[in-house]
Every structure is written in C-alpha cells, then in structure tokens.
Amino acid sequence: MDLTAVAAYRRATTRQDLALSPGERFLAGGTWLFSEPNRDITGLVDLSTMPWAPLEVSQDGLRIGATCTIAQLLELPAHLGWRAQPLFEDAANALLASFKIWNEATVVGNVCRAYAAAAMLAACATLDGVAEIWEPGGGTRHEPVASLPTGNGTTSLAHGEAVRAIDIPSRALEGRTALRKIALAELGRSGAVVTGRADADGSFTIVVTAATLKPTVLRYPIPPSPARVADDVRASDGFYTDALGSEDWRRHVAGVLAAEIVEELS
C-alpha cells in the first residue's frame, strides 16, 4: 500500500466524474493497485460509488458490472440453470488469492489487469464475454474480452477508458465447461490454465491462458479429437519462459490439459 504519490481521492457518481486528470487512475477493488508502489499515480477515482448493479440477469444472458466482486459473482443462484455457471467458481479457485480477496477483487479488474494467469479473464473469454468500454469523450465501444489483452499485463484500453461491464451471452452460458490448471509449486501461480466449452450444436471452444502472454482461443465447428486439440495448442504462438515455467514445458502441458478437457466434454 505504498501509494506515496497519491495526493487526491474522489468518488465518482456520474459518467462525467470518470474524466481522468493527469496522474489519476480508476479504483475498484484495488487488490492490485494497493499491492505495488505505483509511483506514477497521483490521484484515485473510486468507481465503487457509481450506481451500477453488480450483476444483471436477462434472457440475453449475464451482465457483470465493473464493481462486481468475485464473491458476488459466485453468489449467483444455481436455479438460473446455466450449465456453464460452475466455470466461475473453478476460475476463482485457480487464482492465487484467498476467499478473503474474493470479497474485494472485482471480476472486471482481473480482466483489465490482463495478467497471463488472470483466471476470471480466462472464464469470461471462454464464455465469449464482450466488454462495454466507456470512452473519455462520451462514446462507447465494444470489444471481445479475449482480444482485450495485448500482452502480459497490457491491454488495448486507452488512458481514461473504463470497462463499464462484461456481457456474457446466454448461448455460451448454456454450454458445458471445464477447466484444468498446473503449477510448478502446489500453492504457486498457475503455469498453464486451459478452459473449454462445448455447445449444444457440437461446437467447441478451447482457451489457453497463463501459459501464453495473452489468451489463445481455438474454435471448432464439431467436436475435435484430443490429439488434434493437443497439436493445435502446441502449434500456437505466445508461449513464454519465466521463473514459473519454461516455454517448452508450458507448451507441452497446455496440450495435455487441452486434450483432457476435450475428453471430459465429449
């Protein structure tokens, strides 16, 4: 919590309040913001005071508001009947964070931080989530969650743009899902996370995160074989090496996990 350069704090209650001055940053859950010095930040604009519903359920699907915490997402009632709903809890458990953090960390914040191992990002990408982005000039644009990250910790968001919500379509929520992860240490950050979705029409979606710098999305019109998916995953770009795993190891295990998901969902 070493934000020693912060000299101003204000609560946002209208869209006009979201206009950032130089040095200001948006604050939602703050679990990452307060975890590092971030000495370039001189002011905070609190989004938690905006009149936004955490979650909105409709015939079109699920709308996850910018201030919705991970804990609130996990409290969605089971009677909604969405077969993909368990993926949210699987993703939360894949995070290197305790349930205490779930009460503060926001789903959209995890997506916007765009770390390679951002498991809520993996879940939203697997479910074809689309981010509604408020632009500083008053405009609105939409971008698939899967394409929002441009690298490990970087996104396509311009300074002053805010993700208002993530919309998950009902057709994706009706699919069957699975998640696999692996790490070099029992309680360490994931070295590879693979998620999958099987839809009623037979189509398959496979998403690789943590092992790649940004989400890798593979789509199949009909159920693929485990061997084909493993080969396709290993032929993908973006695998990297760091202290949590080598590129070759990540590439290999991601293929193994993807094959397991296909077997489970088939």
Q: Which domain holds residue 158?
A: 55-171
With respect to residue 207, please indicate whether it lies within any of the assigned structural domains. yes
Arithmetic mean of pLDDT over the chain: 94
**Number of structural domains, the chain?**
3
Examine the domain organization and report whether 197 and 147 are in the same domain: no
Cβ-count burial of 198 within 10 angstroms (0-12 exposed, 13-18 middle, 19+ buried)?
buried
Say yes or no: 142 and 180 in one domain.
no
Does residue 1 form part of some domain?
no
166 and 224 in a single domain? The answer is no
Contacts of 89 (CB under 8 A, 6+ apart): 74
Least trusted range by pLDDT, from 46-55, 87-96, 233-242: 87-96
Q: Does position 247 have pLDDT exceeding 80, yes or no?
A: yes
Contact 164, 134 (CB under 8 A): yes
154 inside domain: yes
- CATH value at residue 167: 3.30.465.10
- In the chain, the amino acid numbered 48 is S
Among 127, 146, 171, residue at a domain's last position: 171
Q: What is the pLDDT of residues 76-125, one digit of tens each?
A: 998 899 999 999 999 999 987 777 889 999 999 999 999 999 999 999 99
* Domain endpoint, select from 171, 197, 222: 171
pLDDT score at 1: 58
CATH value at residue 251: 3.30.390.50
Q: Is 40 left (phi over 0), alpha (psi -120 to 50) or beta?
A: alpha
Q: Radius of gyration (Cα) for the chain, nearest Å?
A: 18
Dump pLDDT digits (tens) for 175-232. 999 999 999 987 778 999 999 999 999 999 999 999 999 999 999 999 999 999 999 9
- Give the separation between CA 255 and CA 244, rounded to whole angstroms: 18
